[in-house]
Structure formats: structure tokens, C-alpha cells
């Protein structure tokens, strides 16, 4: 079994190579270490290797790990967020990747205002239009952006998608490409307050293809920390 350090070296090399293939710079892609289900001792190994941006999909896990991990790390909420839980993480995360309803955006805006901060958010897009997935349908993104753009305590930085689970990552290329086209398209609409430059897309199985298609944040869990175990789920 490889160590976390070795895993990170491999991922780093693949990111650099994918960026080069696309004529992009390594620095233009953030490697977000998805630490869900992993204990703080394990996460510290990744931080020691320089991965200070951490992604979690549950509010509960951020709350448990926030104090022990301390300053010097940046938390990103990447999973579905219930409105009633926004208050717990509003002053703990740097970015919320999963905004996909007006109600949620309004709650984030309200809680951010109460803490006198402006929260960076991404709009989650269900690019492959899968029934089981959260996210705004691509054709509704413009309307949604127009609804949330006026909220003064959120800053819409870009778009995020969770691509389908596939064996061959090439199958997802089309969705990553459409994400980039959507971002460009939305910026051209010249909506007040909307000037987006972040594309959060690509996971362990397909981050190289995502980078070739313009990802600026890749969310990698298994590729860094190994398989996840869910003890309570049998
Ligand atoms: C778990 C998760 C990831 C990371 O998945 P891996 O396949 O382990 O890299 C990325 N994005 C989201 C939203 C996740 O929930």
C-alpha cells in the first residue's frame, strides 16, 4: 500500500502533466484534498505535504475537525448543504461549492451578513441531468444566477459539478467541456455581480480529463487517502 505522501506525488505529477497537455499552468489548478471520513491524524499527513485546502461533504465532519486541525487549513464544503445547518459552518469555510437553491443562497447571505463576511460560493450544476444528483439544470443556470447575484453577502465565484460515475473518464469529457462553455457563456451575459473564474470539477476517477477541459479546482479523495470505509453503513 502506498503512503499518503506517495499518493500525493502521483496525483501532483498527473495534474502537472494534464495542465501541460492543455497549455495551462500547474498553479492555475487547486488540488482540494477531500478528507471526508478520514480522521485528523491522517489529514495532517496530507497537510504536511502541502495540501492545506480540505474538502468535506458533511457539516458535522467540518465541525468535528475544525478545532483539532487549527489555523493554516482552508475548509471547503462540497456536499449537499441543508439550510438549517448553514449557521454552523458560515465562519469556518472558505467556499461553499454546492449552492443549488434560492433558499440556500438566501440563508448563506443572511448568515454571512450576521458575521460581516462575504462568502465565496459556486453554483452546483447537474450537467449530466442525472435524476439522483443535486444541482441546477444547465438551462436554468442563467435564471438562477440572476436570482442570487443581488445578494450582497455572497460572491459567486464559479460553477461546480459532480460528473457521473464512469469506468472510462473520457465519457465525462463532454460534461466538463459543457461546464466550461457554460461558464464562458454566463460571463458574457454581463449579469451585475457575476464574473466567474472557478470551475470545480473532476474527482479521483476523472480529474485529469477535467483539467484538460479547464477545471480550476479538482476534488480528490480516494486518490490521496485511499478507499473510504463507512463503518455504520455495513
Ligand atoms: C467524495 C467526493 C469527492 C471525492 O471523491 P473521490 O472519488 O474519492 O476522489 C469529490 N467531490 C464530492 C462532492 C464528493 O462528495
DSSP reduced 3-state for 52? coil
> What pLDDT does residue 1 have?
78
Cα–Cα nearest to 200, from 52, 95, 130: 95
| Per-residue pLDDT tens digits for 186-215 | 999 999 999 999 999 999 999 999 999 999
Q: Is 76 in the pocket of ligand 1 (CB under 6 A)?
A: no
| Per-residue pLDDT tens digits for 76-104 | 999 999 999 999 999 999 999 999 999 99
Q: Which of 125, 176, 203 has the most ligand 1 atoms within 8 A of CB, as the residue to mutate? A: 203
- CA triple 219-221-224, angle to 5 deg: 115
Atom index in ligand 1 nearest the CA of residue 225 equals: 8
Query: What's the mean per-residue pLDDT of the chain?
Result: 97
Q: Please provide the distance, in angstroms rounded to a whole number, between the alpha carbons at the two ends of the chain.
A: 24
| Per-residue pLDDT tens digits for 131-182 | 999 999 999 999 999 999 999 999 999 999 999 999 999 999 999 999 999 9
Ligand 1: which residue has its CA nearest to atom 4? 221
Q: Which of 4, 55, 62 has the most ligand 1 atoms within 8 A of CB, as the residue to mutate? A: 55
DSSP reduced 3-state for 206? coil
Percent of the chain with pLDDT over 70: 98
Among positive and negative, which fits the CA dihedral 39, 42, 44, 47?
A: negative
Residue 125 gets which letter from DSSP?
Answer: B
Amino acid at each position: 500500500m502506498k503512503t499518503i505522501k506517495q499518493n500525493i506525488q502521483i496525483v501532483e505529477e498527473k495534474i502537472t502533466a494534464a495542465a501541460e497537455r492543455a497549455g495551462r499552468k500547474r498553479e492555475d489548478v487547486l488540488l482540494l484534498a477531500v478528507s471526508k471520513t478520514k480522521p485528523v491524524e491522517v489529514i495532517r499527513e496530507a497537510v504536511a505535504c502541502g495540501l492545506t485546502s480540505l474538502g468535506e461533504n458533511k457539516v458535522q465532519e467540518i465541525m468535528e475537525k475544525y478545532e483539532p486541525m487549527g489555523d493554516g487549513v482552508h475548509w471547503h464544503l462540497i456536499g449537499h448543504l441543508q439550510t438549517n445547518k448553514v449557521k454552523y459552518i458560515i465562519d469556518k469555510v472558505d467556499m461553499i461549492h454546492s449552492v443549488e437553491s434560492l433558499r440556500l443562497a438566501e440563508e448563506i447571505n443572511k448568515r454571512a451578513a450576521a458575521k460581516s463576511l462575504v462568502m465565496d460560493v459556486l453554483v452546483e450544476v447537474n450537467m449530466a441531468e442525472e435524476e439522483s444528483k443535486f444541482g441546477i439544470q444547465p438551462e436554468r443556470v442563467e435564471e438562477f444566477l440572476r436570482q442570487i447575484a443581488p445578494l450582497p453577502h455572497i460572491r459567486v465565484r464559479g460553477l461546480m459539478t459532480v460528473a457521473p460515475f464512469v469506468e472510462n473518464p473520457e465519457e465525462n469529457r463532454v460534461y466538463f467541456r459543457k461546464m466550461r462553455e457554460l461558464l464562458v457563456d454566463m460571463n458574457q451575459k454581463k449579469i451585475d455581480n457575476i464574473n466567474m473564474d472557478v470551475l470545480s470539477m473532476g474527482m479521483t476517477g476523472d480529474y485529469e480529463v477535467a483539467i484538460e477541459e479547464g477545471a480550476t479546482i479538482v476534488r480528490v479523495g480516494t486518490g490521496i487517502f485511499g478507499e473510504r470505509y463507512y463503518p455504520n453503513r455495513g
